[in-house]
């Protein structure tokens, strides 16, 4: 039996975020082996439960057709088995066979995608064949080939008879017969061919599937119904942006270019959200594919690529090696999320955002990057570098990691620290530090609960009372069910670096600010415009008058206070949930809350001996 693995040197290179072309291909060989094991399990389950396939032929019939195709065209069938959608389908179907009921389609329709895959493999290999396959809402998707459409078929779930004879494809669904001549790329009212984007990266040529037709999606909002077809202008926009983004990555981030050249297989377009916040995602089951809204330009798509291809790389690596303990249920601070994350998610996050930081560093240092583009690149690099360095120390000793997991964190930390300190002369780095620290403070205000005994002891030690407490206790992580956007200051800074006048116009009223950055507060806007003193005054008033949103303004107050030179604010910023809780306790005891600025200075003195902290300190 072949065992897939990496040499120690290659393993460490991949853990550090890198990897050569040959190393990445070795990882893909391991991924192919992983898929074959999944197929083996699927066939065993379907053999033991033949009724699962309902109106479809036995699984052995489809598998035999797949084997016949593989004997004729090993490379083509191998590509199909390694396709991201194949992995997404296999994992989802195995989960359903294991008892998961989270699906709209009947089980036989999902399991029967094996038959559609077998037909697609046979057609690609040039074999004649006939097989019954699932039909969804009047459509039949043949992976990598295209989708037959019979809108007059009203049944959401049914079957279709697919035949390939001397190259011509015939799909009989309901009362309609659809004939598609080779090479199956002419669109008609009843046939939608798969869209492939030929690309060349680092001297390697590949076709990236622009997958607006496939059945199994990364998007968790996708239902059992067929996804909508992209319009021609939308498809051309994706094609142009992808080629431009890959060219940009080749210039500024050679590692991400190598990763994309070997691993990138598909893009799943997502509908644009109502807000301007871009969305992208990857699944470890669909290595080589990412889902994304259409970014505004090639630079943003390049950043998305650098991020998501790292997820794919680590996802494939996790199919070969165990980096964390599956039973660990602890939740951690992830600077790129508003909610607490399990250890697996945090590992994926640090790996992906190391790629993001690397991309922005390369863009910031590129000689052709200047003006606002350079400022934006320095800001993004500084932001993600600081976020990563905040997480590494605690994660490195996390009990939920295996030895290989700790080795991963160590190698990534060495990568980021190896880049050296940013150029402090660049003002964008100060903005990045503000944005990073405020996000951490906002997260703690929502999810960290300080020890009640410490809070009460501190409140009792308010001037003229008892001595400060000597006990220490860490805050607990208690996930809040409803959390607003915590990256609003970062978003305001991005606007400022691109168009300061647009930021100034946001001061015209709440509607203008909400339209520019949904969820942003006026205190944040003032600080982003450079009026930190004004932000402090507004936050102080809100806290003393107990305005409805005042509880969440401690992050705004502390960041703005630090900018005015208040050193204690910078230290209290590490545990704002304690400041809020003690301040609220004093308000209940005193009747009138104290001056927040004086309180921050006092609290910093009192808590100097308290070393209990929640994740993120």
Can you spell out the DSSP letters for 485-537?
Answer: -S-HHHHHHHHHHH-HHHHHHGGG-HHHHHHHSTT--HHHHHHHTT-HHHHHH
Neighbours of 223 (CB within 10 A): 12
Give the full edge-to-edge strand order of the sheet including 146-149: 176-180, 168-173, 157-165, 129-136, 139-142, 146-149, 191-193
**Radius of gyration (C-alpha) of the chain in whole angstroms:** 28
> What are the C-alpha distances in Å from 442 to residues 194, 433, 448, 555?
44, 14, 10, 6
CA torsion sign for 427, 433, 439, 444 is negative
> DSSP character for 194?
P
The pair of structure tokens assigned to 435 is 């944005």
Q: What is the pLDDT of residue 608?
A: 64
Task: Please write the tens of the pLDDT for every residue from 114-135.
Answer: 999 999 999 999 999 999 999 9
Q: What angle do CA 68, 73, 74 make, to 5 degrees?
A: 95
Q: What is the pLDDT of residue 312?
A: 96
Q: What is the pLDDT of residue 1?
A: 45
Residue segments in the chain with a per-residue pLDDT below the cut of 50: 1, 611-617
Backbone angles phi, psi at 220, to 5 degrees: -70, -15
- Contact (Cβ atoms closer than 8 angstroms) between residue 352 and residue 307: yes
């Amino acid at each position: 039996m072949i065992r897939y693995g990496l040499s120690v040197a290659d393993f460490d290179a991949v853990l550090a975020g890198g990897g050569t072309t040959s190393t990445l291909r070795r990882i893909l060989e391991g991924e192919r082996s992983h898929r074959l094991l999944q197929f083996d399990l699927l066939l065993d389950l379907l053999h033991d439960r033949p009724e699962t396939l309902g109106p479809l032929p036995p699984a052995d019939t489809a598998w035999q057709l797949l084997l016949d195709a593989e004997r004729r065209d090993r490379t083509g069938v191998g590509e199909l088995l390694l396709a991201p959608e194949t992995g997404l389908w296999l994992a989802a179907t195995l989960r359903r066979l294991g008892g998961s009921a989270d699906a709209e389609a009947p089980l036989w329709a999902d399991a029967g995608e094996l038959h559609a895959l077998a037909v697609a493999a046979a057609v690609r290999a040039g074999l004649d064949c006939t097989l019954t396959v699932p039909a969804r809402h009047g459509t039949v998707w043949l992976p990598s080939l295209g989708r037959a459409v019979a809108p007059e078929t009203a049944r959401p779930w049914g079957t279709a008879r697919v035949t390939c004879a001397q190259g011509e494809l015939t799909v009989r669904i309901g009362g309609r017969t659809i004939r598609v001549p080779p090479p199956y790329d002419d669109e008609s009212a009843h046939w939608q061919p798969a869209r492939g984007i030929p690309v060349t990266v680092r001297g390697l040529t590949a076709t990236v599937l622009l997958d607006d037709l496939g059945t199994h999606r990364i998007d968790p909002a996708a239902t059992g119904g067929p996804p909508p077809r992209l319009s021609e202008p939308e498809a051309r926009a994706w094609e142009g942006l992808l080629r431009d983004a890959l060219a940009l990555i080749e210039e500024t981030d050679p590692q991400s270019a190598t990763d994309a050249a070997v691993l990138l297989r598909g893009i799943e377009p997502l509908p644009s959200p109502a807000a301007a916040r871009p969305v992208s995602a990857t699944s470890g089951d669909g290595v080589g594919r990412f889902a994304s809204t259409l970014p505004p330009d090639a630079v943003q798509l390049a950043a998305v690529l650098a991020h998501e291809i790292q997820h794919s790389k680590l996802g494939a690596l996790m199919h070969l090696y165990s980096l964390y303990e599956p039973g660990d249920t602890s939740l951690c601070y992830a600077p790129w999320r508003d909610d607490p994350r399990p250890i697996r998610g945090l590992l994926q996050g640090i790996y992906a955002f190391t790629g993001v930081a690397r991309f922005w560093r390369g863009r910031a240092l590129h000689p052709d990057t200047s003006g606002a583009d350079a400022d934006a690149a320095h800001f993004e690099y500084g932001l993600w570098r600081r976020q990563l360095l905040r997480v590494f120390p605690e994660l490195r000793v996390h009990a939920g990691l295996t030895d290989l997991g700790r080795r991963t964190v160590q190698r990534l930390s060495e990568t980021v620290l190896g880049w050296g300190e940013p150029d402090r002369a660049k003002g964008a780095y100060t903005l990045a530090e503000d944005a990073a620290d405020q996000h951490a403070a906002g997260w703690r205000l929502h999810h960290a609960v300080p020890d009640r005994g410490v809070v009460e002891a501190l409140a009792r030690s308010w001037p003229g009372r008892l001595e400060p407490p000597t006990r220490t206790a860490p805050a607990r992580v208690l996930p809040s069910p409803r959390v607003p956007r915590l990256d609003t200051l970062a978003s305001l800074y991005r606007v400022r670096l691109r168009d300061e006048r647009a930021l100034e116009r946001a001061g015209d009223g709440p509607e203008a600010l909400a339209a520019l950055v949904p969820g942003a507060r006026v205190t944040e806007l003032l600080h982003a415009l450079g009026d930190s003193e004004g932000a402090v005054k507004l936050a102080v008033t809100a806290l003393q008058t107990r305005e409805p949103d005042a509880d969440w303004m401690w992050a705004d107050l502390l960041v703005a206070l630090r900018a005015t030179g208040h050193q204690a604010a910078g230290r209290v910023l590490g545990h704002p949930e304690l400041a809020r809780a003690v301040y609220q306790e004093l308000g209940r005891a005193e009747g009138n809350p104290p001056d927040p600025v004086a309180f921050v200075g006092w609290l910093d003195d009192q808590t100097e001996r308290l070393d209990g902290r929640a994740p993120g300190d």
